[in-house]
Structure 1
Amino acid sequence: MRLDFFPSRTLTLYLARLFVTRILAVLLMLVLVLQTLDLLSESGKILEYPGNGEAQLWHYVTLRVPQLVARFLPYSVLLATIITLATLNQNSEVIAMKAAGLSAHQILAPLLASALAVSMISLAFNEMVGTRATATLNAWEDADYGPVPEEETVRSNVYFRDGGNILAVTTLSGSGKAMRMDGVSWYRRDGRGLLIEQVKAPRAVFADPGWRLDDPVRFDVQSARQVKLDSLTVATELTPEQIRMSHVNADTEDIVTLHGSIRAMEAAGRQTRELRGEWWHKLVGPLSATLMPLLGAVAAFGLARSGQLFVRAVLGMGLGFAYFVVDNAALAMGNFGAYPPFLAAWAPFLLFLLLGETVLIRTEE
């Protein structure tokens, strides 16, 4: 029986159903509580914009919930593991399963399989729903919860260097030569970095080369005079491709799009260490849920009447939260260049996989 990873179909389905039910219950509780607190802090900003009301509040909730689900699903799996295993131990079900000849790994097998399925669903959800919701919410927040252009590729409040000058854009939409800037401000500076003139325009389009400002208004700092111009072309060395690569947000791009952005930036000779670390973490993040049953397994074993069940549950929870701390620290070190991106993303996962196996084997097998 020890050679069969899933020795009983009935027991496997029972444990899997018990575990998944608790994952959903804990996740629902966390999302409800955190979303309520977050909405309380943001509702004032949302309603501050003229015309916003209850519909905009619900729209914010629909955009924020996918972020909360993606971030706290691994925590939900950890807490569900502790609750499930502690309950099984308290009711002497673990003792019954071990008396029937099941090993610790066989008891945990349905939980590990369920956690792996949750990880795969989480990965698909993050890539198909989470990234789009994050991109939309970021654009809406940058517009102070006001109207946002309907184009899919929208960026707000961005700045570009034009030699020693600065080009500021309120909203950037479109792609390639069809890219459009709205709310444009161009600041010309002298060799000492002092502002010479400021030009404002409601919009700008790519003039190949440069960007043509429509209905610009020039303000000369020295003479304090304001002059309205027919048109003006600025930033002749700034291309749409350079703009596209100037700012890549890993949270708003799916794994395929992000890979293409990284390759384009590398071809242009730009630094991509942080983005490559984020790319690997898009895989490792959801997969971390698979580790939680192994790290929380210490709560399943030992006699419940020995008085150590609570201590074991706390130890399992501590191992799980320690993983998240080490994972975030490794990712930060990878961004600083201390670790290669691949190692920064995968080292904590492999380390705690070995640690969980070691604790399980030394104590139960």
Structure 2
Amino acid sequence: MPHGLLTIDCGAVVRNWRRLCETHAGGAVAAVLKADAYGLGAAPIARALRDAGCRHFFVATVEEGEALRATLGEGPMVAVLGGFPAGKHAGLTPVLNSLDDVAAHSGPAILHVDSGMSRLGLALDELEKLADNPALLDGLEILYVMTHLAAAEDPQHPLNLVQLTRFNEACLRLPRARRSIANSSGIFLGPRFGSELARPGAALYGLNPTPGRPNPMEPVFTLTGQVLQLRNIPPGQTVGYGGAWLATRPSRIATIGIGYADGLPRALEGRLKGRYRGQEFPMVGRVSMDLMTFDVTGIRAMKAGRWIEIIGPHQDADMVAGMAGTIGYELLTSLGRRFRRDYLPA
């Protein structure tokens, strides 16, 4: 039986999506479900969003797309950001990232223009060729022309307006089509960044799209670890590898069955807090591969078999990631497959 539990509230995901729909200064709002819905489980989340009215979904790979199409059935758009070979994978919409992609495909597609990210998308020289020879698009049904913002989490970053200007200028040189601009943070940049389709991902799952300001999104999940053993130790006794923590008083130590093999970084040593029935207490010692230890001295109700909250409303994924020197995206997508995942209905 797994010793870690992720409880995912599909209703909270749906409410976050609706909040983004209300905030986006434009048309529809898609759902980005790449990396198995950022590690939380694409299938149940996709069904909840579909039932709430979401009709546009994005994934990273063909394999993710095929699994999502099987989950959703016919109807909603399932677009693959990394594209795929022509003539295969019926029911999926390719994102065209180069002139070679444009030449290889026919039918419905999304055209990606690189406005400053310098990763995927048509580069400036390719855009020039396409603008000079629009016949290259013959046979394609361009559903959207999209770009991807590189610095939207910082409203003052000059690259935001640079990218918006480049993208608008590119669209003027292409056959008229609906546009897709904003990611999670871009939705909060205001009306200029509105378009016919926004593409949030992280905000759906409760990560803060407005760093440095209050999180406008609702928490989506909690992570708890089961107490495997409790032991009383005297002053002067150490806990964990390297003797990294030394008891300075008689202490009660709870060991839970999750560790860095489950995506909890070793850098959390000395920083992470646990919570049980409203009481907070420190993690002590180092994060091990499969185990973590907490000083629960004074928590009288604590017993073996109880569950300690690691990530939740008191300490969300962004906070825990910050403790480890990383970002919520990385932490969330690293959460291990050994966890049981329980889904609360929408």
Q: Whose RCO is larger (CA < 8 A, sep 6+)?
A: 2
Shared fold (TM-score, shorter chain, > 0.5): no
Q: Greater Rg, structure 1 or structure 2?
A: 1
